[in-house]
């Protein structure tokens, strides 16, 4: 476990410590099994700290997911995929941020207008003069261009 910054790790450690602290410690002395030991038990500050750690972990995860979803929506990505990446990987929010900033924005300009029939005929004549199309192909394409007018 190299990363202690993961919220799940901190919550797990707090719950294990809580469970270990709740185990009866007077079993070795032969005392009555159900009798509490004076001064024993879990201190109130520890329980408060454990609850605070759980709430901070949950709050951090909610923040990560909502931030990833906002980034995904702004860049045109799938928000559910960003949620999955955030929840299922250590660096999911970082990956979502990088993907959204590297993604190209959708083109907002309209496509270029089609060239006029005269320009298309000139281009076709140039292809015939260069020998790139045959006379039959030239005649066929010329008829199609004239027919589209």
| DSSP string for 51-91 | HHHHHHHHHHHHHHHHHHHHHHHHHT--HHHHHHHHHHSTT
DSSP state of 5: -
Per DSSP, the chain holds a count of helices (H) and strands (E) of 6, 0
Least confident among 3-7, 71-75, 128-132: 3-7
Q: How far apart are alpha carbons 64 and 147 in whole angstroms? A: 59
More confident residue, 8 or 99: 99
Task: Say yes or no to pLDDT of 5 above 70.
Answer: no
How many other C-beta atoms lie within 10 A of the C-beta of residue 68?
27
Same domain, 59 and 87: yes
Same domain, 21 and 78: yes
Same domain, 53 and 123: no
Residue 15 C-alpha from the chain's centroid: 29
The answer to the question of residue 133 being in a domain is yes
Same domain, 11 and 76: yes
Judge contact between 34 and 73, C-beta under 8 A.
no
- Which pLDDT score is estimated for 27? 47
Judge contact between 87 and 65, C-beta under 8 A.
yes
Task: Say yes or no to pLDDT of 133 above 80.
Answer: yes
The answer to the question of residue 60 being in a domain is yes
The answer to the question of residue 122 being in a domain is yes
Condensed to tens digits (0 to 9), the pLDDT of residues 36-82 reads 556 667 888 999 999 999 999 999 999 989 988 888 888 888 888 88
The answer to the question of residue 112 being in a domain is no
Same domain, 23 and 62: yes
What's the number of domains the chain is made of? 2
Overall size of the chain counted in residues = 149
The answer to the question of residue 46 being in a domain is yes
- Which pLDDT score is estimated for 58? 94
Condensed to tens digits (0 to 9), the pLDDT of residues 80-117 reads 888 888 888 888 778 888 877 777 666 666 667 778 88
Q: Which domain holds residue 140?
A: 117-147
Same domain, 20 and 89: yes
The answer to the question of residue 32 being in a domain is no
């Amino acid at each position: 476990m190299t990363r202690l910054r993961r919220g799940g790790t901190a919550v797990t450690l707090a719950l294990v410590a809580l469970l270990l602290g709740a185990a009866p410690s007077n079993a070795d002395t032969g005392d009555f099994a159900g009798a509490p030991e004076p001064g024993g038990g879990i201190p109130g500050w520890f329980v408060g700290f454990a609850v605070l750690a759980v709430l901070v972990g949950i709050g951090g995860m909610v923040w990560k997911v909502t931030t990833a979803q906002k980034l995904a929506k702004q860049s045109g990505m799938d928000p559910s995929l960003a949620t999955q990446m955030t929840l299922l990987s250590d660096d999911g929010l970082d990956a979502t941020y990088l993907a959204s900033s590297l993604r190209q924005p959708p083109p907002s300009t309209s496509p270029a207008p089609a060239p006029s029939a005269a320009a298309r005929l000139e281009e076709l004549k140039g292809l015939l003069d260069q020998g790139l199309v045959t006379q039959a192909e030239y005649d066929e394409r010329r008829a199609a261009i004239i027919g589209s007018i």
